[in-house]
Amino acid sequence: MTTTDALPTYTPLPLPDRVQLAPDQALAEATRFLHYMRKRHSVRDFAPDPVPREVIEACIAAAGSAPSGANHQPWHFVAIADPDMKAQVRKAAEAEEETFYAGGGGEAWLRALEPIGTGAEKPHLTIAPWLIVVFAQRHGITPEGESFKHYYVPESVGIATGFLIAALHHAGLVCLTHTPNPMKFLNTLCNRPAHEKPVMILPVGYPAPDAVVPEVAKRKKPLDEIMSIF
């Protein structure tokens, strides 16, 4: 169900696409994808080079294809290229970050961030050619203005954001998962309704020639720590 189709009925369709591979092909493709995704890095040093709007639109469309609770698709993506608007986002985000790094985040959290090398200043919010703000819709609104419940909203939006990050990487771009706290200022700046909750800002673009990543970010848990088989 979508906000434009409040009362759908079940209509089965033959599976429209089949992508099944032979076992050896499946392993080869899975391994190829693993190696490619290991080349994905969270980047804070962006080049100002422009990225075509059509590329961003295609990546967000890929995110919109993600599965969701009851197919309600409880997300909205705001793509920002306007320099003045990016500057407003940065100013508001840095104000929240200054409070956080001044002690509001708590000693344990700040200590955990030390190996990442982050601070209150967020120049990537104005240097990156695009900011994509991810909103989670707490509930839907019918064309008649009536509210209806969304299901598994955090899970659904998390999956869609994962699709988006993978799509951006597949397009040769880099991004950063940025979560200033709180983020209510984004509703006003992005002209989004109160029932939508901003959950993340993704600066998106190409890496700067001198881009670096924290060494600790390359330390991934081995498979036997993240997987169990019965």
Please give the pLDDT value at position 151: 96
Please give the pLDDT value at position 90: 95
pLDDT top residue among 180 and 28: 28
Nearest C-alpha neighbor of 1 from the set 134, 146, 151: 151
pLDDT top residue among 40 and 182: 40
Query: What's the rounded Cα separation, in Å, for the pair 32 and 27?
Result: 8
Residue 207: strand, helix, or coil: strand
User: pLDDT per residue over 187-228, tens digit each?
Assistant: 999 999 999 999 999 999 999 999 999 999 899 999 999 999
Q: Does the pLDDT value for residue 117 go beyond 70?
A: yes
Residue 175: strand, helix, or coil: strand
Averaged pLDDT of the chain: 93
| pTM score | 0.92
Calculate the alpha carbon distances from 161 to 3, 89, 129 in Å: 20, 20, 19
pLDDT top residue among 205 and 105: 205
Q: Does the pLDDT value for residue 134 go beyond 70?
A: yes
Percent of the chain with pLDDT over 70: 97
Banded pLDDT at 87 (limits 50, 70, 90): very high
Query: What's the rounded Cα separation, in Å, for the pair 42 and 78?
Result: 20
Banded pLDDT at 131 (limits 50, 70, 90): very high
Name the phi and psi angles at 137, rounded to 5.
Answer: -90, 115
| CB neighbour list of residue 56: distance below 8 Å, 6 or more residues apart | 79, 130, 132, 204
Residue 76: strand, helix, or coil: strand
- Domain edges within the chain: 43-211
Q: Are 168 and 51 in contact (CB under 8 A)?
A: no
Cβ of 95: how many Cβ atoms within 10 Å?
Answer: 13
Query: What's the rounded Cα separation, in Å, for the pair 161 and 148?
Result: 23
**Which of 2-16, 99-113, 170-184 is predicted with the least confidence, judged by mean pLDDT?**
2-16
Domain 43-211 annotated CATH 3.40.109.10: yes
